[in-house]
Amino acid sequence: MALKIEKTFEVQEPIDKVWDVLSDPRKVATCVPGAQITEQVDEKTYKGAIRVKVGPSVTDYTGEVQIIRLDAQNHEIEILGKGQDVRGRGSASMKMTGKLRALPNGGTEVTSVSEINVVGILAQMGSRVITEVSNIMFGEFVKNFQARLQRPSDGLVQQNATAEVAPIKATSLAWEATKGLFRKKPENGS
Amino acid sequence: MIHKTSPEIGGMGHSIKRKEDLRFIQGKGNYVDDVNLPGMVYGQLVRSPYAHARLKSVNTEKAKKLPGVLAVITGEDLAKANLAWMPTLAYDKQMVLATGKVLFQSQEVAFVVAEDRYTAADAAELVEVEYEELPVLVDPHKALEPDAPLLREDREQKNNHIFHWEVGDRQATEQVFQKAPVKASVHAFFPRCHPAPLETCGCVADFSRATERLTVYMTSQAPHAHRTVFALVGGIPENNIRVISPDIGGGFGNKVPVYPGYVCAIVASLTLGVPVKWIETRSENLQSTGFARDYHMTAEIAADRDGKMQALRVKTLADHGAFNAAAQPTKFPAGLFSICTGSYDYPAAFCEVDGVYTNKAPGGIAYRCSFRVTEAAYLIERVVDVLALDLKMDPAELRCKNFIPASKFPYKSSLGWTYDSGNYEAAMKVALDKIGYQRLRKEQEEKRKKGELMGIGLSSFTEIVGAGPAHSFDILGIKMFDSCEIRIHPTGKAMARMGTKSQGQGHETTYAQIVAQELGIPAADVTIEEGDTDTAPYGLGTYASRSTPTSGAATAIAARKIRDKAKKIAAYLLECNEADLEWEPGKFYVKGTPSKAKTIQEIAFAAYTNIPPGLEPGLEAVDYYDPPNLTFPFGTYVCVVDIDKGTGEVKVRRFVAVDDCGNIINPMIVEGQIHGGLTEGLAIAFMQQIDYDESGNIQGGSFMDYLLPTAVETPHWETDKTCTPSPHHPFGAKGVGESPNVGSPAAFVNAVVDALSHLGVRHIDMPITPWKVWKVLQEKGVAA
């Protein structure tokens, strides 16, 4: 099941500071709920894990994150992540393009386009639920990202390496997703 | 003409209440999951998340270590016993547990057995399976392309083609088409849907090491056939296998195939020597057991300018999923799809079907229909409406013009069937009168002027049921006869057993009424038992509306055999010649002297206490009935819909169903069957689809996405009937359980298309969701 999610949000930090976080998958990972980077394979490749729990369905993806394009000049990054559930419940991949733009007020606009492909038990939940789950995860990500920017930048990597994976709260996620279903008409009726 | 018995006897034509409901409405039914045996343990399947993947490893160590886990069986384990694959009903084979690779999402990969259900479910989570994803094939049109991924590496044939089947005269049909002034065509996809019976599939397999006997309590529509399959596949002597189908909570074809779960439970019981229960969850049932339809069809009609049909041409691509596990008579790879000429008199016709493999669940079962007759009826009734549109003719008038006339029966169709009897025009007239057709057409005209959307849809279907005559019909070689054994007890009460198996159809009542009709023993005094292979005579089971045409016929004939013997006993008791006796339901009397009579109860008592010299004691009979032909129920359905231009919602305002199933056993049960089937038809037309995304993920795998109609969605059904008895059936019945599911989808779709036809709409594929209609309204610029 493939879906494309496009999001834009603003942060009150200058573009270089934001870029410092966004261009480092280890730092980005700490902002993604349930995710962690476990190992750096080479300059552009990392091993990582993410736990997604929707209702009764827990999926522990482990896999690789790879920077396929890093354009510091234009503040653009393209990341490809691929993972398989450790218990063989499915796989997921995500291609994310992130782009920064300096705002006149000194802040930064972050634009991201994510193409997600989910195969397996989670995908059976249908695009309605997966889109809602993605929206919730993204909301959490933005909160974490902003919080991260406000913290001093040193020591982040170290903290990350030892950090426990904090899964997304299962019940709240399912509940939020369900509420989302009733809040608005699904984008497609198929 | 059927002689009407008294209400006390309750023979044919009486709406007596269903005997089985007494226990059902009290919650005292006995379903498979109610079977609890001492020492019983529980099985749980581990299923594939991928639609197509190489199986690299299955690690069961962690699962086995969980306290309470007794065994974890994998495909490799089964392979050692030569049980990793099993035959399907369509002469293909299917994996019991995957070896090498998986071919559809939710495919069975391992079977965990534990002391309780919860432990089994937890342990299934601990089985670690390593997969390597392979390219997925979900579009059957791509299955035959040269670069399509090869799904079935086990086959000699290295492509995804299963079969090509054709019937009719291709050349003669082509010639008519070349010259015909009018040609109408439609591409219609009948989506993959699922019967979703209230009770999912399951079993309790109980192998006793002491007696070496295997008893399997299972959700089976065909217990005898399943016993034979277990004997042939498992190598267990057939006398040591007992299959018991207890109460079944709906089958609709879903409980005809043998599923891996049954086999795994049997293997586990043989291995562990304890009873093993396996019951599907709802999602397992929807995702892995027999789906229905999934036919991509094209139909073309050649006609003259006045609308007289000259030829029909049909081409179909059949998506069978990963294994060809279609449930059908062996000689008919596309079932009885060649009934697609329907109720019309075509001088020439040609039909071809190609079956292909895709990465989807296997199946192709006859969901409340007689082997693809639903697809056929939908297609012909759809294309006839398209022809009417092209010719600007009224669809009712066009149908009447082309109906097989009542005088032409028995009618030989150009695709080879001999229709037993019919009067299509009569059924249509009743339907049109009841709904007020002309008035509705006027209303529609006025509404269109105001921009309102209203449609009237017709469906004049013909079914083909009661499979079937031994000369053509068998499943894996076993002929499709069916049977009945009747025993009359000394006190005149009776016990009858059949080779069929009710799943809610009301057999305990209707079969008793047949015995009552034939012998005059009150239906209340006749106990019907089905589903235990140790006691019931052999038969092929209940599906395809075959119970009344086959076992119902066997019941009447077995009863008549008993009556013949009863006559001898009566003659002895009344001291007269048999030739001097007359019969009326319940007694023999001497011609001209009605007071000199012996009741069937007195005769039964004599059969055990005062036996005529030279006559065998007892009063019982068995009949194995091989029907001389199939039966052809028919009817006309009319549906009226209103469409909300703001939301695209279709509201069924009225629905009239006129059915002709020949002579009726129990009118109330027939009406109930029609209500149920129409409700299922409504769901198929508007709500349901087992869809797959491009990666082979099931998009209709739970009741969140696969919708069931409730009282809220279901309109009021209006039913009526005509009666054209089958000339070859012992009491002129035809079978009715499936007609409403067969005939109604076309009526719903035709009504929606009719509401939109003035906007240039010719066809909309099911399920017709509000979203789909809304998109059409947007496209045509009429959305509110």
The structural domain count of chain B equals 3
Contact between B50 and A90 using a beta-carbon 8 Å cutoff: yes
**Residue A190 covered by a domain:** no
Residues B646 and B780 in one domain: yes
pLDDT at A190: 38
The type of residue at B341 is: T
The type of residue at B663 is: N
CB B454 within 8 A of CB B641: yes
Partner-chain residue, chosen from A2, A90, A125, that has the shortest CB–CB distance to B694: A2
CB B131 within 8 A of CB B55: yes
Residues B461 and B507 in one domain: no
Give the chain A residue whose CA is nearest to the CA of B123. A87
pLDDT at A121: 80
Residue B59, chain A, CB below 8 Å: the answer is no
Is the predicted pLDDT of residue B645 greater than 80, yes or no?
Answer: yes
Residues B660 and B763 in one domain: yes
How is residue B712 written in tokens? 């809220």
Tell me which chain B residues have a C-beta less than 8 angstroms from the C-beta of A120: 49-50, 105, 697
Give the chain A residue whose CA is nearest to the CA of B60. A87
Contact between A88 and B130 using a beta-carbon 8 Å cutoff: yes
User: For residue B675, what is the domain's CATH number?
Assistant: 3.30.365.10
Residue B1, chain A, CB below 8 Å: the answer is no
pLDDT at B390: 97
Instruction: Band the pLDDT of A181: cuts 50, 70, 90.
Output: low
Residue B770, chain A, CB below 8 Å: the answer is yes
The structural domain count of chain A equals 1
Partner-chain residue, chosen from A84, A86, A123, that has the shortest CB–CB distance to B697: A123
**Residue B122 covered by a domain:** no
**Residue A103 covered by a domain:** yes
Of B393, B408, B439, which closes a domain? B393
Tell me which chain B residues have a C-beta less than 8 angstroms from the C-beta of A91: 49-50, 133
Half-sphere exposure of A189 (CA within 13 A, CB side): 16
Residues B181 and B291 in one domain: yes
Tell me which chain B residues have a C-beta less than 8 angstroms from the C-beta of A1: 693-695, 697, 699
pLDDT at A53: 78
Our CA-based measurement puts residue B218 at a distance from the nearest CA of chain A, in whole angstroms, of 28
Integer Cα distance of B265 and B184 in angstroms: 52
User: For residue A93, what is the domain's CATH number?
Assistant: 3.30.530.20
**Residue B313 covered by a domain:** yes
Is the predicted pLDDT of residue B669 greater than 50, yes or no?
Answer: yes
Integer Cα distance of A95 and A82 in angstroms: 9
Of B570, B595, B625, which closes a domain? B625
pLDDT at A155: 45
CB neighbours of residue B782 within 10 Å: 14
CB A125 within 8 A of CB A112: no
**Host domain of residue B569:** 21-29+482-625
Specify whether B203 is catalytic: no
Contact between B50 and A123 using a beta-carbon 8 Å cutoff: no
Contact between B50 and A117 using a beta-carbon 8 Å cutoff: no
The overall average pLDDT reported for chain A is 81
Give the chain A residue whose CA is nearest to the CA of B134. A119
Residue B129, chain A, CB below 8 Å: the answer is yes
Residue B695, chain A, CB below 8 Å: the answer is yes
Integer Cα distance of B732 and B326 in angstroms: 30
In three state form, how does the secondary structure of B175-192 look? HHHHHCCEEEEEEEEEEE
> Tokens 């006839």 sit at which residue?
B384
Residue A48's nearest CA partner among A3, A80, A89 is A80
The type of residue at A4 is: K
**Residue A104 covered by a domain:** yes
pLDDT at B525: 98
Task: Write down the catalytic residue from B351, B369, B484, B639.
Answer: B369
Tell me which chain A residues have a C-beta less than 8 angstroms from the C-beta of B698: 124
Average pLDDT over residues B105-119: 98
Chain segment B172-205, per-residue pLDDT in tens:
999 999 999 999 999 999 999 999 999 999 999 9
Instruction: Band the pLDDT of B482: cuts 50, 70, 90.
Output: very high
Residue B522 has phi, psi (to 5 degrees) of: -55, 140
Residue B438, chain A, CB below 8 Å: the answer is no
Average pLDDT over residues A50-79: 89
Residue B717's nearest CA partner among B770, B673, B753 is B673
Task: Write down the catalytic residue from B94, B105, B221, B328.
Answer: B221
The least confident of A127-131, B29-33, B134-138, B392-396 is: A127-131
Residue A14's nearest CA partner among A137, A118, A149 is A149
In percent, the amount of chain B with pLDDT more than 70 equals: 100
Residue B691, chain A, CB below 8 Å: the answer is yes
Average pLDDT over residues B456-473: 96
**Residue B92 covered by a domain:** no
CA distances from B513 to B13, B216, B324, B520, B548 (A): 9, 30, 39, 9, 12
CB neighbours of residue A188 within 10 Å: 10
CB B214 within 8 A of CB B269: yes
Our CA-based measurement puts residue B77 at a distance from the nearest CA of chain A, in whole angstroms, of 20
**Residue B91 covered by a domain:** no
Residues B621 and B731 in one domain: no
pLDDT at A168: 54
State the best of A122, A124, A131, A132 to mutate against chain B, taking most chain B CBs within 10 Å: A124
**Residue B341 covered by a domain:** yes
Residues B609 and B673 in one domain: no
Residues B432 and B497 in one domain: no
CB A79 within 8 A of CB A25: yes
Specify whether B221 is catalytic: yes
pLDDT at A163: 42
Tell me which chain B residues have a C-beta less than 8 angstroms from the C-beta of A121: 49
CA distances from B240 to A63, B39, B500, B533, B540 (A): 52, 21, 21, 11, 19
pLDDT at A123: 85
**Residue B96 covered by a domain:** no
Partner-chain residue, chosen from A88, A121, A188, that has the shortest CB–CB distance to B131: A88
CA distances from A118 to A84, A85, A93, A122, B136 (A): 10, 11, 7, 7, 14
Partner-chain residue, chosen from A88, A118, A189, that has the shortest CB–CB distance to B771: A189
Give the chain A residue whose CA is nearest to the CA of B705. A126
Residues B577 and B695 in one domain: no
ipTM score here? 0.77
**Residue A138 covered by a domain:** yes
Chain segment B1-24, per-residue pLDDT in tens:
688 999 999 999 999 999 999 999
β strands within B239-330, DSSP E: 241-244, 276-279, 292-303, 309-319
Tell me which chain B residues have a C-beta less than 8 angstroms from the C-beta of A85: 49
Tell me which chain A residues have a C-beta less than 8 angstroms from the C-beta of B49: 85, 88-91, 119-121
pLDDT at A160: 42
Which distant-in-sequence residues (6+ apart) come within 8 Å of B655 by Cβ?
B637, B638, B639, B640, B678, B715, B716, B717, B718, B744, B747
**Residue A137 covered by a domain:** yes
Q: What is the DSSP string of B193-211?
A: E----SS--EEEEEEETTT
Partner-chain residue, chosen from A1, A86, A120, that has the shortest CB–CB distance to B50: A120
β strands within B463-539, DSSP E: 474-475, 478-479, 482-488, 494-498, 526-530
Is the predicted pLDDT of residue B321 greater than 90, yes or no?
Answer: yes
Contact between B695 and A121 using a beta-carbon 8 Å cutoff: no
Contact between A124 and B701 using a beta-carbon 8 Å cutoff: yes
Residue B93, chain A, CB below 8 Å: the answer is no
CB neighbours of residue B342 within 10 Å: 29
The type of residue at A59 is: T
Instruction: Band the pLDDT of A183: cuts 50, 70, 90.
Output: low
Residues B454 and B506 in one domain: no
Residues B278 and B160 in one domain: yes
A interface with B, Cβ–Cβ < 8 A, is 1-2, 84-91, 117-121, 123-126, 188-190
pLDDT at A132: 83
Residues B611 and B726 in one domain: no
Average pLDDT over residues B390-413: 98
Is the predicted pLDDT of residue B437 greater than 80, yes or no?
Answer: yes
The overall average pLDDT reported for chain B is 97
Give the chain A residue whose CA is nearest to the CA of B48. A89
**Total-model pTM:** 0.93
Tell me which chain B residues have a C-beta less than 8 angstroms from the C-beta of A89: 49
Using a 10 angstrom Cβ sphere, with 0-12 exposed, 13-18 middle and 19 or more buried, the burial of residue B78 is: buried
Give the chain B residue whose CA is nearest to the CA of A127. B699
- Better pLDDT: B669 or A159: B669
Residue B128, chain A, CB below 8 Å: the answer is yes
Our CA-based measurement puts residue A107 at a distance from the nearest CA of chain B, in whole angstroms, of 41
Average pLDDT over residues B393-403: 98
Is the predicted pLDDT of residue B80 greater than 90, yes or no?
Answer: yes
Integer Cα distance of B714 and B651 in angstroms: 10
Of B606, B625, B644, which closes a domain? B625
Residues B524 and B447 in one domain: no
Using a 10 angstrom Cβ sphere, with 0-12 exposed, 13-18 middle and 19 or more buried, the burial of residue B62 is: middle
Instruction: Band the pLDDT of A124: cuts 50, 70, 90.
Output: confident
How is residue B59 written in tokens? 């690690």
Average pLDDT over residues B421-435: 98
Is the predicted pLDDT of residue B96 greater than 50, yes or no?
Answer: yes
pLDDT at A86: 79
Give the chain B residue whose CA is nearest to the CA of A188. B771
Average pLDDT over residues B484-490: 98
Which distant-in-sequence residues (6+ apart) come within 8 Å of B548 by Cβ?
B466, B510, B665, B733, B734, B735, B736
Integer Cα distance of B286 and B271 in angstroms: 29
**Residue B54 covered by a domain:** no
Contact between B694 and A90 using a beta-carbon 8 Å cutoff: no
Contact between A120 and B705 using a beta-carbon 8 Å cutoff: no
Partner-chain residue, chosen from B130, B287, B705, that has the shortest CB–CB distance to A126: B705
Chain segment B134-170, per-residue pLDDT in tens:
999 999 999 999 999 999 999 999 999 999 999 999 9
**Residue A18 covered by a domain:** yes
Cα pseudo-dihedral B720, B726, B731, B736, rounded to 10: -40
Q: Residue B725 has what DSSP assignment?
A: -
Residue B285, chain A, CB below 8 Å: the answer is no
CA distances from B684 to B679, B688, B696, B749 (A): 9, 5, 22, 10
CB neighbours of residue B136 within 10 Å: 25
**Host domain of residue A23:** 2-183
Contact between B697 and A190 using a beta-carbon 8 Å cutoff: no
Specify whether B209 is catalytic: no
Contact between A85 and B49 using a beta-carbon 8 Å cutoff: yes
Integer Cα distance of B50 and B695 in angstroms: 8
Average pLDDT over residues B590-594: 96
The least confident of A83-97, B314-328, B568-582 is: A83-97
**Residue B543 covered by a domain:** yes
Give the chain A residue whose CA is nearest to the CA of B775. A189
pLDDT at A159: 42
Instruction: Band the pLDDT of A129: cuts 50, 70, 90.
Output: confident
Chain segment A21-62, per-residue pLDDT in tens:
999 988 888 898 889 999 999 999 999 999 887 777 778 899
Our CA-based measurement puts residue A45 at a distance from the nearest CA of chain B, in whole angstroms, of 21
Chain segment B755-768, per-residue pLDDT in tens:
999 999 999 999 99
Chain segment B597-616, per-residue pLDDT in tens:
999 999 999 999 999 999 99
